Amino acid sequence: MQERQDALNGPEMVCRWARHPRCVGLARVELRKTLAAWGLAEIEDMALLVLSELVTNAVRHAHVSPGREIETRFQLAGDGLRIEVHDSSDVRPHMRASVSDSECGRGLVLVGVLADQWGVSERGGIGKSVWALMSVPPQDGDS
């Protein structure tokens, strides 16, 4: 884990994980600590769910050479958070039409509902970055 300060965008927490189902829970712990430190507890539940879906997709679908890791980046972005999950697979995720009783295929739909924006970006080198932007909802009385 490494906390960095980006001159343009604010603090950033970067972690690398072995591509194993256990990393989903470990990444959630780091995000929870980061959100508390940055005063973003208001979006914790939504952010943890988005992160879980993105990391789970990387673990399940990023079929890559042994030893390749998943990287998570959490960055303070204005009044909210940018979550990125990097993997070394060039296969881009896509939303699938889910059947109402299906246990699979709903992750990106859920990300689309919870995040203000999400997308996939190229990386320097191999692989991709799947990202989501989440903002703190306005409080009653805020304009």
Percent of the chain beyond pLDDT 70? 81
pLDDT at 65: 75
pLDDT at 16: 93
Tell me if 66 is assigned to some domain: yes
**Which residues neighbour 55 within 8 Å (Cβ) at sequence distance 6 or greater?**
17, 23, 24, 27, 70, 72, 85
Sheet containing 10-18: order of strands: 2-6, 10-18, 69-77, 80-87, 128-135, 117-122
Tell me if 143 is assigned to some domain: no
The residue segments making up the domain with residue 59 are 2-135
Q: Which two tokens stand for residue 89?
A: 């697979």
Domain of residue 75, CATH code: 3.30.565.10
Tell me if 22 is assigned to some domain: yes
Q: How many domains does the chain have?
A: 1
3-state class (DSSP) for residue 28: helix
Tell me if 102 is assigned to some domain: yes
Tell me if 141 is assigned to some domain: no
Higher pLDDT, 110 or 94: 110
Tell me if 26 is assigned to some domain: yes
The rounded mean pLDDT for the chain is 85
Tell me if 140 is assigned to some domain: no
Q: Which two tokens stand for residue 4?
A: 């960095």
Burial class (CB in 10 A: 0-12, 13-18, 19+), 98: middle
Per-residue pLDDT tens over the stretch 49-107: 999 999 999 998 887 777 789 999 999 988 899 999 999 888 888 666 655 555 555 67
Q: Which pTM does this prediction carry?
A: 0.85
Tell me if 43 is assigned to some domain: yes
